[in-house]
């Protein structure tokens, strides 16, 4: 943690590329607010002619693009210091304005569903400008059974602002106002266990410190479990409200229908992971062996497995490692990545009040993507840089290659690009490092990635599914019931009752730590994307013909088709178990290599 004034400008994002000042942002907001009623000029006229439809959709796109830029600035300013109420107010102003606009524009889709596909195709043929909206128009028709009357759509649009309430409360409380504990470590140092502090110190090489960190952090979280429970329950109720209002079978059906993802993809992921828990337990037992502990505890999972080896990287070193890892994709992709560092897309270090974690924001279509990091100098932080750069470059290529209506891609494909970059990085490291200790550390880090992305995120996905099902059945959901549900699932995954990994009762409040539960069935896509990225990376690392060109075409596709189709064109069929099977093969191959190194050492 360092003061923001001590961070060099080169390591802070340059939000001036969006607006040169807060005053400029406010002027842009005022100008946008003055245009909200323009869209009403098309109400009742969309089916009159192709020209009318095009004109309305063009204005809607223009407004959406302006909102994306406006919200990006306010959102990132707020995340830069969540304690500053002025930035939070700017974010709220933008959201309120967007709600006002969406309320006015709520007539668009009800009018479009009055058309049939033949009429839409005829409109597109007559008015070429409608070609970039064809995907959107046909998708609206696909969702016709869930589209309501104009008045009902207007009501739902107004409800949107309230729907964000629980997540906003969680973000501010957990990042800015939660009274996180301080502890004294074994070396006498004092550690503030904020979210970023916990993420850093849970990986301590000292087991006593790790247990102290876990106990202090989760004790603090547990004191507020009922508050966190009310927040999450309120969030779930918004999903149930929208699901029933739009006549969906379940919250899961509604969430996946947006991108036309079959619900079987979700269920098969959980089934595949549960069928392969033996592979996951093999990894846990390998970690126990390498740590030299009689019983593996949940507090051991982030510990380095090679004692005395503390891989540390400056941000500049991490940048160079990442850029060199991109070699299989050719010079064009590397040149695009270099722009992120040269043009200050990235906010690097943790500072007081800064939002925890990391993300990429590609919403400013006419500018460039941005990345928030909390870089602590560990290998995981270098891997996170690669991950978020995958997102940023996905946005960069999609925004550059597609018109605005087709640029925005789904999360289902977004995490493929990020995980693909992480895979390139780890393989670059393993190709060049011969030292057994470093190789063991990196190989385990790769396995930790599979654990965290495939198994842990699927564990989250199952918890998310079960809590939504409970909400749909109107069952009580409190901090205690969330904790019990989460604990039961976690203990099954980690083999608690089999003696594989012990999870203390206190740690089952972990659900309150995960911000992604305030999204809408988001986390499963980390798992599916990891398996898709693994399949693609295997081809890239094998230097299969045209794989780099296929990959660049994939990240340039944006939202020009449904994600399942885009991935099929890239060579990955997510409706089959093949990507998951390849991932398990890679995981077992990695564990085989680790065991070979350990056996060789034992013999010597």
Which residues lie below 8 Å from residue 456, measured CB to CB, with a gap of 6+?
A: none
Q: Contact at 8 Å (CB) between 172 and 231?
A: no
Burial of 6 (0-12, 13-18, 19+ CB in 10 A): exposed
Token pair, residue 469, equals 């099902």
CA 196 to chain centre: 17
Helix pair angle (225-245, 150-163), 10° resolution? 170
Which residues lie below 8 Å from residue 592, measured CB to CB, with a gap of 6+?
A: none
Locate tokens 């709220």: which residue?
Answer: 92
Which residues lie below 8 Å from residue 288, measured CB to CB, with a gap of 6+?
A: 295, 296, 300, 501
User: Is 388 one of the annotated active-site residues of the chain?
Assistant: yes
Q: How far apart are CA 345 and CA 340, in angstroms?
A: 5
Calculated CA dihedral for residues 410, 413, 419, 421, nearest 10 degrees: -100
CA 493 to chain centre: 22
Secondary structure (DSSP) of 506-569:
GGGGGGGG-GGGGSSS-THHHHHHHHHHHHHHHHHHTT-TTHHHHHHHHHH-TTSS-HHHHHHH
**Residue 203: phi, psi to the nearest 5?**
-95, 20
Nearest to 173 by CA among 159, 200, 194: 194
Which of 388, 422, 464, 510 does the annotation list as catalytic?
388
Q: Contact at 8 Å (CB) between 239 and 251?
A: yes
Locate tokens 């392969």: which residue?
Answer: 276
Token pair, residue 483, equals 């904790």
Question: What amino acid positions are annotated as catalytic residues?
Answer: 388
């Amino acid at each position: 943690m360092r003061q923001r004034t001590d961070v060099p400008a080169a390591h802070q994002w340059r939000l001036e590329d969006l607006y040169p000042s807060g005053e400029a942002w406010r002027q842009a907001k005022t100008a946008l607010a003055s245009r909200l009623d323009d869209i009403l000029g098309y109400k009742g006229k969309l089916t009159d002619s192709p020209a009318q439809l095009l004109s309305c959709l063009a204005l809607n796109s223009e407004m959406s693009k302006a909102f994306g830029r406006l919200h990006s600035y306010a959102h990132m300013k707020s995340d830069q210091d969540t304690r500053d109420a002025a930035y939070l107010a700017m974010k709220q102003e933008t959201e309120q304005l967007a709600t006002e606009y969406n309320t006015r524009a709520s007539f668009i889709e009800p009018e479009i569903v009055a058309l049939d596909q033949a009429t839409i195709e005829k409109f597109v043929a007559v008015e070429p400008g409608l070609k970039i909206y064809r995907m959107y128009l046909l998708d609206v028709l696909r969702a016709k059974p869930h589209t309501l009357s104009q008045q009902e759509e207007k009501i739902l649009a107004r409800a949107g602002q309230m729907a964000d309430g629980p997540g906003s409360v969680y973000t501010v409380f957990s990042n800015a106002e939660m009274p996180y504990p301080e502890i004294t470590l074994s070396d006498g140092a004092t550690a503030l266990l904020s979210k970023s502090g916990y993420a850093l110190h849970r990986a301590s090489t000292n087991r006593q410190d790790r247990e102290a960190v876990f106990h202090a952090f989760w004790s603090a979280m547990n004191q507020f479990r009922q508050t966190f429970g009310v927040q999450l329950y309120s969030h779930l109720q918004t999903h149930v409200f929208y699901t029933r209002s739009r006549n969906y079978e379940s919250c899961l059906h509604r969430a996946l229908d947006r991108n036309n993802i079959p619900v079987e993809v979700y269920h098969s992921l959980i089934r595949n992971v549960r069928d392969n828990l033996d592979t996951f337990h093999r990894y846990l037992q390998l970690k126990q062996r390498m740590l030299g502990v009689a019983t593996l505890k949940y507090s051991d999972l982030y510990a380095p497995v090679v004692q005395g080896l503390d891989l540390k990287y400056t941000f500049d070193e991490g940048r160079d490692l990442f850029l060199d890892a991109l070699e299989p994709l050719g010079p064009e992709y590397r040149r695009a990545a270099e722009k992120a560092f040269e043009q200050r897309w990235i906010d690097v270090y943790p500072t007081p009040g800064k939002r925890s974690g990391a993300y990429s924001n590609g919403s400013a279509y006419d500018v460039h993507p941005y990345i928030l990091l909390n870089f602590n100098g560990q290998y995981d932080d270098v891997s996170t840089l690669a991950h978020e750069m995958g997102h940023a470059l996905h946005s960069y290529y999609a925004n550059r290659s597609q018109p605005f209506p087709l640029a925005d891609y789904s999360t289902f494909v977004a995490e493929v690009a990020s995980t693909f970059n992480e895979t390139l990085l780890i393989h670059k490291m393993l190709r060049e490092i011969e030292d057994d200790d470093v190789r063991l550390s990196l190989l385990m880090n790769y396995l930790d990635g599979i654990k965290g992305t495939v198994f842990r995120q699927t564990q989250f996905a199952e918890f998310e599914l079960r809590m939504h099902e409970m909400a749909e059945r109107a069952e009580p959901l409190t901090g205690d019931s969330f904790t019990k549900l989460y604990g039961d699932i976690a203990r099954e995954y980690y083999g608690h009752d089999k003696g594989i990994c012990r999870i203390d009762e206190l740690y089952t409040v972990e659900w309150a730590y995960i911000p992604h539960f305030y999204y809408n069935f988001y986390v499963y896509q980390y798992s599916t994307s990891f398996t898709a990225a693994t399949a693609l990376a295997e081809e890239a690392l094998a230097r299969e013909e045209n794989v780099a060109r296929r990959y660049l075409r994939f990240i340039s596709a944006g939202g020009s088709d449904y994600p399942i189709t885009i991935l099929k064109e890239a060579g990955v069929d997510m409706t089959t178990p093949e990507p998951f099977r390849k991932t398990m093969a890679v995981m077992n191959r990695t564990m085989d290599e680790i065991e070979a190194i350990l056996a060789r050492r034992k013999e010597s």
